[in-house]
Each structure stands twice: as C-alpha cells, then as structure tokens.
Amino acid sequence: MNGIIGVFRKEIAITFTSPIFYATGFIFLLVSGYFFYSNTAYFSLLSFQAAQNPFLSESLNLSHMVIKPFFGDISIILLLMLPLLTMRLYAEEKRSGTIELLFTYPISDASVLAGKFAATLVVLLALLAGTLPNMIILETMADLEWGIIVTGYLGVFLMGAGFIALGAFVSTLTENQIVAAVISFGALLILWAVGWAKSLVGPGLGAVLGHLALIGHLDNFTQGLIDTRSMVFYVLFIMFWLFLTHRFLNSRFWRG
C-alpha cells in the first residue's frame, strides 16, 4: 500500500510539472467550452423560434439538446486527449531508463500499475471538474436536471478510465511515446466506432459489435440511466486492459 501511494504521488508530481498536462488540459477545456457554448446558443435560438411555434416548443428539452450532446462531445475530446496523457506511463520510464529502478525496487508490478492508474484517474477527474463551471453557469439561467448530469459524468468517467487502461497497456509495448499515443488513439477510435459495422454484418455478429462499441454504452448514462450492463461493460473493459498490462509487465519473469 505504501508503494502504491509512493508511485501515485510521484506520478502526480511529474504530471503536474509536465507541459503535456497543461497543454491537453487547456485544449480540452477550450474545445469542450466551445461545444457547450454552441449547443446552448443553438438551443436558445430554437427557444426564440418556439415562442411563435407551440408545436416546436413541446419537443424542446434542455437535457436532450444541450447536456446529452455535451457528454458525447466530451467523450470525443477525451478520446483525442487521454492517449497523450497515458503515452508516457511506461514508455517514458523505458526511454529514460528509470524502469530499471522501478523493476528492481521491492514493489510488485500490480502496485506500480495501481499507483499509475489511480494518478491518471485523478488527472481525468481534474479535467472533468474543469467542465463543471459550464453547468453551474447554465444552472443560474435555466433549470437543469442534475440527475442526468451526475449519471452523465459517471458514464464519461468510466469511459475515460477505460481509455486510460487501454493507453497504459499500449504504453508498455514501446519506449516511444508518440507510437504509444498513435496506437492507443487508433485502437480507441476503432472500438468507439465498431458499432457502425453492425448493419453490415450478420445479426449475430452485429449484436456483438453493437455491445462492444464504447459509445453505445455512454448513451444510457447520458439519458440518466445507470444500466448495469453498461456499468459492467466499462468495468470489464478497464479490468481487461489492466490485466493485459500486468501480464505483459510480468512476462519479463518467464521470457528470459
């Protein structure tokens, strides 16, 4: 446990001194803020038109037209940004040789991984917390459904944790951070969009692909649902990649 906390603190210290974090954080907040603004502005435009058109006004819903798409936007930006935060997890240690310290200190691979994963989760939380002011400002002008916002954040957090787990695994494969970022970005994009092929293949495989797609499970959360299936999917997704990471690191004991 000591070791996990030690690794965690080290990772946090390095992350918050690195320009990568500040650059990605800045761009993340800028782009997500822009999306939020444009969603809200479009909604207010429609609201003005609805003043003359009573049929339109019935279909207007702040949660569906601003909040739900906003979480979709966030997840896309995270897909672009999180590989940049996970690429260094192991690749940097390999390149700089500090992996030699990490592998010869009396600490298990699992503890190192736990510390690194937890630290990156905190970074993800910090990024997501940065988007909260959008909601709070909107709340001063409109009546928000906070239930949907909470489940939406939970969904985006779980999905982001999945991105991080996959990114951590890819980072163990190479000592080049760019390669790690590119591979995890590509893998995430494919897993993100794998559901699009649903209608092209047979119904059996189509259903499987539909369930594998990362984005489909987020929809439940952004509708205000905490669906056990989606919850389990994300948790299993995280565990799967963490498990692979651990096995791959551990393989140095028998690869010889």
Partner 1 sequence: MIQVENLTKYYGLKPAIQNISLDIESGKIVGLLGPNGAGKTTILRILTCFMQPTSGRVAVDGLDCRTRSLEVRKRIGFLPETVPLYSDLRVQAFLRFAASIKGLIGGGLRRELDRVISECGLQEHRKRLIKHLSKGLKQRVGLAQALLNDPPLLILDEPTTGLDPAQIIEVRNLIRDLGGERNVLLSTHILPEVSQLCDKVIILHNGRVLKEDTPLNLAREIQQGFRTVISVDGPEDEVLRALSGLQGVIDVRASGRPGEIVVNSSSDEGVRPLMARTIVESGWGLREMRSSELSLEEVFVHLVTEETGQEGENAS
Per CB under 8 A, residues contacting partner 1 are: 2-3, 5-7, 9-10, 13-14, 17-18, 96-101, 103-108, 252-256
Give the Cα separation of 164 and 220 in Å (integer).
Answer: 21
Q: In angstroms, what is the minimal distance from the CB of 99 to partner 1?
A: 8
Which residues are CB-neighbours of 164 under 8 A, at least 6 positions away? 82, 85, 86, 117, 120, 121, 124
Considering the complex, state which of residue 18 and residue 47 has its C-beta at the smaller distance from partner 1: 18
Give the Cα separation of 121 and 129 in Å (integer).
Answer: 12
CB 173 within 8 A of CB 248: yes
Q: In angstroms, what is the minimal distance from the CB of 98 to partner 1?
A: 4
Q: In angstroms, what is the minimal distance from the CB of 121 to partner 1?
A: 19
133's tokens: 């002011």
Q: In angstroms, what is the minimal distance from the CB of 105 to partner 1?
A: 5
Q: In angstroms, what is the minimal distance from the CB of 81 to partner 1?
A: 20
Which residues are CB-neighbours of 40 under 8 A, at least 6 positions away? 66, 138
Q: In angstroms, what is the minimal distance from the CB of 127 to partner 1?
A: 20
Considering the complex, state which of residue 64 and residue 95 has its C-beta at the smaller distance from partner 1: 95
Give the Cα separation of 138 and 103 in Å (integer).
Answer: 49
Considering the complex, state which of residue 6 and residue 72 has its C-beta at the smaller distance from partner 1: 6
82: phi then psi, degrees, rounded to nearest 5? -65, -35
Q: In angstroms, what is the minimal distance from the CB of 179 to partner 1?
A: 20
Considering the complex, state which of residue 73 and residue 109 has its C-beta at the smaller distance from partner 1: 109
User: What DSSP assignment string belongs to 37-96?
Assistant: HHHHHHHHHHHHHHHH-HHHHHH--HIIIIIHHHHHHHHHHHHHHHHHHHTHHHHHHHHH
Considering the complex, state which of residue 55 and residue 253 has its C-beta at the smaller distance from partner 1: 253
Which residues are CB-neighbours of 194 under 8 A, at least 6 positions away? 209, 212, 213
Considering the complex, state which of residue 94 and residue 198 has its C-beta at the smaller distance from partner 1: 94
Considering the complex, state which of residue 92 and residue 227 has its C-beta at the smaller distance from partner 1: 92
